[in-house]
Amino acid sequence: MKQIIFKTLADLRFAIILLLIIAISSIIGTIIEQDQPIEMYKSNYPLINPLFGFLSWDIILRFGFDHVYSTWWFICFIFILGISLLTCTFVQQLPALKIARRCQFLRTSKQFYKLKIIKTIEVNSLSNIFFKIQDNNYSIFHQKNIFYSYKGLIGKIAPVIVHLSLILILLGTIITALTGLKAQEIIPKTETVHIQNLLFNGPFSKIPDVSTRINDFWITYSNKNIINQYYSDISIINNFGTELQQKTIYVNQPAKFNGITYYQTDWNLLGLRVQVDNLNVFQYPLVSIVNKSNKLWVSWISTSQSLKEGFTILIMDLQGYCSIYNEFGVFLGNWELNEPFKINFPLILIDILSSTGLQIKVDPGIPFIYSGFSFLMLSTLLSYITYSQIWILEHSDQILVGGNTNRAKFDFELEFANMINE
């Protein structure tokens, strides 16, 4: 029974079937939005007229298609594939490597004629052939009148390293699915928050016991008023209020602390802080409006107690100013930071309140995945090393010389001919 199980796990066809199942599951996870609210699935995948005739929101939730990569069945397939690769390594690859290291003597001429390359030479040419074989970096072994040589044994290690790399990648995937988490936080400037809005968390994940404070947030623009980059100056704080790390992050330049990675992902405008009559400071909220190409923010500042009279504030970016329009839509001018603007009474724009969007990830499987890909690249390089073998059988009147290789057969034939021909 055990032999049947091990034989099945080590079978290439079984591994291919597992890979197809995992690939199809991954395609499902690509097509269907992952880790979204239930309301989104109910609106996009209704029970009436479901997608493809069967894909409704209840099917998605029942089989876990809303979080494919962390479902128990997906993790099981990954685990079984890892076991299959491990079994194949010990049952097939390592024994094959062990055999390749042995002296594989051919003792009869019948065995020689099964080789792809064979030639008969004179006895007096044997010493010259030995020298040429040594010059081509072959390892030579002999037993009476039988000789065996090989080179490129390290190329035979490539399949073992491939399996090792895939096992590491699969192990990293499982660790991430079980213990990883991902959160999205929108944090106002100068505010401090703990991780709350989880997009994904594994069954054994633990929320980091630290908080994040946004010290500052700003945007740089090109000469054509196109956004170049978002910047957030953040501090990581423990429960006692002590700053553990401070760093300025931007897109493609995250901050890392104790296995936690902070990515710059989004931004928003929240409100205006305005000083009225050089005395009172008021805070006015901003409402975002999305048109076809841009995102705008608007606010209303009343100039009368009835709230019917006033002016509209329009902001298109974070360059330190906003545009003012009256109640009839007439443009009155641009209002810059710390600059007075007088309509019925003097107003000073003290600050444009902004927030930054951070994606916070804990991914303990990343080192395994990166190591796996590194080994995979190494195995690719090793796979180009040709494993070549040469046999010599000495008779009284003639010598049989044969050779074999696993790849680059034309190059090996040229090398073989140069060694045999005087």
Q: Where are the domains of the chain?
A: 2-95, 110-152+386-420, 156-178+363-381, 181-358
Please tell me which of 7-21, 293-307, 357-371, 399-413 the model is most confident about, judged by mean pLDDT: 357-371
Task: Report whether 281 contacts 275 (CB < 8 A).
Answer: yes
Q: Return the DSSP state at 67.
A: G
The predicted model gives 281-297 an average pLDDT of 82
In percent, the amount of the chain with pLDDT more than 90 equals: 21
Q: What pLDDT, on the 0 to 100 scale, is given for residue 105?
A: 82
Q: What is the largest CA-CA distance in the chain?
A: 121
**Who contacts 336 (Cβ-Cβ below 8 Å, separation ≥6)?**
320, 321, 349
Q: Closest Cα to residue 350, out of 265, 283, 415, 255?
A: 283
Q: What pLDDT, on the 0 to 100 scale, is given for residue 342?
A: 74
SS3 (DSSP) at 242: coil
What is the spatial distance between Cα 133 and Cα 391, in angstroms, rounded to a whole number? 11
Tokens for 190? Answer: 């100068």
Least confident of 93-107, 185-199, 253-267: 93-107
pLDDT in tens, 344-394: 677 888 888 999 999 999 999 999 999 999 999 998 888 888 889 898 888
Is the pLDDT at 79 greater than 80, yes or no?
yes
The angle at the Cα of 209, spanning 205 to 215, to the nearest 5 degrees, equals 125
Is the pLDDT at 125 greater than 70, yes or no?
yes
Is the pLDDT at 260 greater than 90, yes or no?
yes
Q: Closest Cα to residue 389, out of 421, 416, 422?
A: 416
pLDDT in tens, 219-251: 998 887 788 898 999 999 998 889 999 999 999
Give 312's strand partners: 300, 325
What is the spatial distance between Cα 369 and Cα 408, in angstroms, rounded to a whole number? 32
Q: What pLDDT, on the 0 to 100 scale, is given for residue 110?
A: 83
Number of H helices, E strands in the chain: 11, 21
The predicted model gives 204-228 an average pLDDT of 88
Is the pLDDT at 293 greater than 70, yes or no?
no
Half-sphere exposure of 71 (CA within 13 A, CB side): 20
Q: What pLDDT, on the 0 to 100 scale, is given for residue 396?
A: 65
Q: Which amino acid is at 386?
A: T
Query: What is the four-CA torsion angle of 242, 244, 249, 253, rounded to 10 degrees?
Result: -160
Is the pLDDT at 306 greater than 70, yes or no?
no
Is the pLDDT at 304 greater than 90, yes or no?
no
Q: Closest Cα to residue 81, out of 137, 27, 20, 157?
A: 20
> May I ask the CATH class of domain 110-152+386-420?
alpha beta
Q: What pLDDT, on the 0 to 100 scale, is given for residue 86?
A: 87
The predicted model gives 16-34 an average pLDDT of 88
Least confident of 29-38, 209-218, 284-293: 284-293
The angle at the Cα of 392, spanning 388 to 393, to the nearest 5 degrees, equals 150
Is the pLDDT at 4 greater than 70, yes or no?
yes
Q: What pLDDT, on the 0 to 100 scale, is given for residue 394?
A: 80
Q: How many CB atoms lie within 10 A of CB 266?
A: 14
pLDDT averaged over the chain?
A: 86
What is the spatial distance between Cα 163 and Cα 383, in angstroms, rounded to a whole number? 13
